[in-house]
Amino acid sequence: MVENKKPEKRARGRPPVRCDDETRSMIIVAANPHFQENGFASANINLIAQAAGVSTKTLYRLFPTKADLFSSVVSDRIGQFFLTLDEAALAKMDLREGLVRLLTAYGDLALAEYTIAIYKLVVAEADRFPEIANTFHTQAIAQTNAALERWLALQADLKRLKIEDAALASGMLRGMMVMEPQRAVLLHQRQPPTPEEIAARAEICADLFLNGSRHRA
Protein backbone atom coordinates (compact mmCIF):
# COMPACT_ATOMS: atom_id res chain seq x y z
CA MET A 1 0.00 0.00 0.00
CA VAL A 2 1.46 3.29 -1.08
CA GLU A 3 1.24 6.07 1.43
CA ASN A 4 0.36 9.38 -0.11
CA LYS A 5 2.51 12.15 1.31
CA LYS A 6 0.94 15.49 1.75
CA PRO A 7 2.76 18.23 -0.12
CA GLU A 8 4.75 20.54 2.12
CA LYS A 9 3.14 23.86 2.66
CA ARG A 10 5.15 26.91 1.69
CA ALA A 11 5.46 29.62 4.23
CA ARG A 12 3.32 32.55 3.31
CA GLY A 13 4.13 36.19 3.61
CA ARG A 14 6.65 38.59 2.19
CA PRO A 15 10.29 37.62 1.63
CA PRO A 16 12.74 38.64 4.36
CA VAL A 17 13.48 42.36 4.41
CA ARG A 18 17.10 43.49 4.40
CA CYS A 19 18.23 45.64 7.29
CA ASP A 20 19.24 49.22 6.53
CA ASP A 21 22.93 48.53 7.21
CA GLU A 22 23.00 45.77 4.60
CA THR A 23 21.15 47.96 2.12
CA ARG A 24 23.54 50.85 2.73
CA SER A 25 26.49 48.55 2.03
CA MET A 26 24.94 47.36 -1.22
CA ILE A 27 24.35 50.93 -2.36
CA ILE A 28 27.90 51.99 -1.47
CA VAL A 29 29.33 49.03 -3.42
CA ALA A 30 27.24 50.03 -6.44
CA ALA A 31 28.06 53.73 -6.12
CA ASN A 32 31.81 53.25 -5.88
CA PRO A 33 32.55 52.34 -9.53
CA HIS A 34 29.78 54.63 -10.76
CA PHE A 35 31.46 57.70 -9.24
CA GLN A 36 34.83 56.61 -10.61
CA GLU A 37 33.55 56.14 -14.14
CA ASN A 38 31.19 59.13 -14.36
CA GLY A 39 32.46 61.71 -11.88
CA PHE A 40 30.33 63.42 -9.27
CA ALA A 41 28.26 65.77 -11.43
CA SER A 42 27.30 63.07 -13.94
CA ALA A 43 26.66 60.34 -11.39
CA ASN A 44 23.08 59.12 -11.82
CA ILE A 45 21.25 58.19 -8.63
CA ASN A 46 18.65 56.17 -10.55
CA LEU A 47 21.36 54.03 -12.15
CA ILE A 48 23.12 53.53 -8.82
CA ALA A 49 19.87 52.41 -7.22
CA GLN A 50 19.24 50.05 -10.12
CA ALA A 51 22.75 48.56 -9.83
CA ALA A 52 22.24 48.08 -6.08
CA GLY A 53 18.86 46.42 -6.62
CA VAL A 54 16.93 48.96 -4.58
CA SER A 55 14.37 51.61 -5.33
CA THR A 56 15.36 55.23 -5.76
CA LYS A 57 13.07 56.02 -2.83
CA THR A 58 15.02 53.64 -0.60
CA LEU A 59 18.33 55.13 -1.71
CA TYR A 60 17.20 58.67 -0.93
CA ARG A 61 15.86 57.55 2.45
CA LEU A 62 19.31 56.27 3.41
CA PHE A 63 21.34 58.92 1.54
CA PRO A 64 19.29 62.13 1.23
CA THR A 65 21.73 63.77 -1.21
CA LYS A 66 24.32 62.69 -3.74
CA ALA A 67 26.94 64.36 -1.53
CA ASP A 68 25.86 62.16 1.40
CA LEU A 69 26.33 59.07 -0.74
CA PHE A 70 29.77 60.22 -1.91
CA SER A 71 30.75 60.92 1.69
CA SER A 72 29.74 57.38 2.68
CA VAL A 73 31.74 55.90 -0.20
CA VAL A 74 34.88 57.69 1.03
CA SER A 75 34.17 56.88 4.67
CA ASP A 76 33.73 53.19 3.88
CA ARG A 77 37.14 53.06 2.22
CA ILE A 78 38.84 54.81 5.15
CA GLY A 79 37.11 52.42 7.57
CA GLN A 80 38.74 49.52 5.72
CA PHE A 81 42.11 51.25 6.08
CA PHE A 82 41.78 51.48 9.86
CA LEU A 83 40.70 47.84 10.10
CA THR A 84 43.81 46.83 8.15
CA LEU A 85 46.03 49.13 10.17
CA ASP A 86 44.90 47.89 13.61
CA GLU A 87 46.39 50.68 15.73
CA ALA A 88 46.30 48.58 18.91
CA ALA A 89 48.56 45.95 17.35
CA LEU A 90 50.69 48.67 15.76
CA ALA A 91 51.45 50.23 19.16
CA LYS A 92 53.02 46.95 20.36
CA MET A 93 55.45 46.61 17.46
CA ASP A 94 59.07 47.68 17.54
CA LEU A 95 60.02 50.95 15.88
CA ARG A 96 60.96 49.83 12.37
CA GLU A 97 58.31 47.11 12.14
CA GLY A 98 55.60 49.55 13.18
CA LEU A 99 56.68 52.25 10.74
CA VAL A 100 56.90 49.80 7.84
CA ARG A 101 53.45 48.45 8.71
CA LEU A 102 52.01 51.96 8.89
CA LEU A 103 53.58 53.15 5.63
CA THR A 104 52.56 49.98 3.81
CA ALA A 105 48.93 50.37 4.89
CA TYR A 106 49.00 54.04 3.90
CA GLY A 107 50.58 53.21 0.55
CA ASP A 108 48.04 50.47 -0.14
CA LEU A 109 45.30 53.05 0.42
CA ALA A 110 46.76 56.14 -1.26
CA LEU A 111 48.24 54.35 -4.27
CA ALA A 112 45.26 52.11 -5.01
CA GLU A 113 43.67 52.65 -8.40
CA TYR A 114 40.36 53.41 -6.66
CA THR A 115 41.83 56.12 -4.43
CA ILE A 116 43.71 57.79 -7.27
CA ALA A 117 40.54 57.82 -9.37
CA ILE A 118 38.54 59.42 -6.54
CA TYR A 119 41.32 61.95 -5.88
CA LYS A 120 41.32 62.88 -9.58
CA LEU A 121 37.53 63.26 -9.46
CA VAL A 122 37.71 65.54 -6.42
CA VAL A 123 40.41 67.77 -7.91
CA ALA A 124 38.50 68.06 -11.21
CA GLU A 125 35.17 68.97 -9.60
CA ALA A 126 36.18 70.75 -6.38
CA ASP A 127 35.45 74.23 -7.74
CA ARG A 128 31.87 73.31 -8.66
CA PHE A 129 31.25 71.06 -5.67
CA PRO A 130 33.37 72.24 -2.70
CA GLU A 131 31.45 69.84 -0.43
CA ILE A 132 33.14 66.82 -2.01
CA ALA A 133 36.56 68.42 -1.56
CA ASN A 134 35.75 69.00 2.10
CA THR A 135 34.54 65.41 2.45
CA PHE A 136 37.73 63.99 0.93
CA HIS A 137 39.93 66.20 3.07
CA THR A 138 38.20 65.57 6.40
CA GLN A 139 37.41 61.88 5.98
CA ALA A 140 40.38 60.67 3.95
CA ILE A 141 43.37 62.98 4.24
CA ALA A 142 42.87 64.28 7.79
CA GLN A 143 42.03 60.89 9.29
CA THR A 144 44.97 59.05 7.75
CA ASN A 145 47.26 61.92 8.69
CA ALA A 146 46.04 61.76 12.27
CA ALA A 147 46.78 58.03 12.50
CA LEU A 148 50.39 58.58 11.46
CA GLU A 149 50.73 61.60 13.74
CA ARG A 150 49.45 59.60 16.74
CA TRP A 151 52.00 56.87 16.12
CA LEU A 152 54.87 59.33 15.69
CA ALA A 153 53.89 61.22 18.84
CA LEU A 154 53.78 57.94 20.78
CA GLN A 155 57.26 56.97 19.59
CA ALA A 156 58.56 60.41 20.56
CA ASP A 157 57.02 60.06 24.04
CA LEU A 158 58.73 56.67 24.38
CA LYS A 159 62.05 58.29 23.44
CA ARG A 160 62.35 56.12 20.36
CA LEU A 161 62.18 59.04 17.93
CA LYS A 162 63.63 62.49 18.23
CA ILE A 163 61.01 64.70 16.59
CA GLU A 164 59.51 67.97 17.77
CA ASP A 165 56.52 68.22 15.42
CA ALA A 166 54.64 65.00 14.70
CA ALA A 167 52.38 66.73 12.14
CA LEU A 168 55.36 68.04 10.18
CA ALA A 169 57.10 64.65 10.31
CA SER A 170 53.90 62.95 9.19
CA GLY A 171 53.62 65.19 6.15
CA MET A 172 57.21 64.48 5.15
CA LEU A 173 56.72 60.73 5.51
CA ARG A 174 53.48 60.71 3.55
CA GLY A 175 55.03 62.74 0.74
CA MET A 176 58.07 60.47 0.56
CA MET A 177 55.84 57.39 0.48
CA VAL A 178 53.24 58.32 -2.14
CA MET A 179 53.82 61.64 -3.91
CA GLU A 180 56.06 60.52 -6.79
CA PRO A 181 54.26 57.29 -7.72
CA GLN A 182 50.82 58.87 -7.27
CA ARG A 183 51.75 61.79 -9.53
CA ALA A 184 53.13 59.39 -12.15
CA VAL A 185 49.83 57.47 -12.18
CA LEU A 186 47.78 60.68 -12.42
CA LEU A 187 49.85 61.78 -15.43
CA HIS A 188 49.48 58.34 -17.06
CA GLN A 189 53.20 57.63 -16.85
CA ARG A 190 52.76 54.31 -15.10
CA GLN A 191 50.23 51.89 -13.68
CA PRO A 192 49.44 51.92 -9.94
CA PRO A 193 52.22 50.13 -8.05
CA THR A 194 51.74 46.52 -7.03
CA PRO A 195 51.43 45.48 -3.36
CA GLU A 196 55.01 44.16 -3.57
CA GLU A 197 56.29 47.50 -4.88
CA ILE A 198 54.41 49.36 -2.15
CA ALA A 199 55.84 47.10 0.57
CA ALA A 200 59.39 47.55 -0.77
CA ARG A 201 58.95 51.34 -0.95
CA ALA A 202 57.66 51.37 2.64
CA GLU A 203 60.83 49.67 3.86
CA ILE A 204 63.07 52.12 2.00
CA CYS A 205 61.12 55.15 3.28
CA ALA A 206 61.15 53.80 6.85
CA ASP A 207 64.92 53.31 6.80
CA LEU A 208 65.58 56.76 5.33
CA PHE A 209 63.36 58.38 7.94
CA LEU A 210 64.73 56.41 10.89
CA ASN A 211 68.34 57.08 9.95
CA GLY A 212 67.65 60.77 10.40
CA SER A 213 65.29 60.80 13.39
CA ARG A 214 65.97 57.75 15.54
CA HIS A 215 66.58 58.73 19.15
CA ARG A 216 70.17 58.06 20.16
CA ALA A 217 71.20 57.86 23.79
Output the DSSP codes for 69-120: HHHHHHHHHHHHHHHHH-HHHHHTS-HHHHHHHHHHHHHHHHTSHHHHHHHH
Q: Is the pLDDT at 65 greater than 70, yes or no?
A: yes
State what percent of residues in the chain have pLDDT above 70.
90
Q: What is the pLDDT of residues 127-150, one digit of tens each?
A: 999 999 999 999 999 999 999 999
Structural contact between residues 212 and 173, judged by C-beta atoms closer than 8 angstroms: no
Structural contact between residues 206 and 96, judged by C-beta atoms closer than 8 angstroms: yes
DSSP state of 11: P
State what percent of residues in the chain have pLDDT above 90.
77
Q: Is the pLDDT at 108 greater than 90, yes or no?
A: yes
| Buried residues in 67-97 as b, exposed as e (16+ CB within 10 A) | eebbbbbbbbbbeebeeebeeeebeeeeeee
pLDDT in the model for residue 86: 84
Q: Is the pLDDT at 97 greater than 60, yes or no?
A: yes
Query: What pLDDT band is residue 55 in, cutting at 50, 70 and 90?
Result: very high
pLDDT in the model for residue 216: 57
Whole-prediction pTM value? Answer: 0.83
pLDDT in the model for residue 12: 53
In whole angstroms, give the CA distance from residue 25 to residue 114. 17
pLDDT in the model for residue 96: 95
Q: How far apart are the first and last CA of the chain?
A: 95
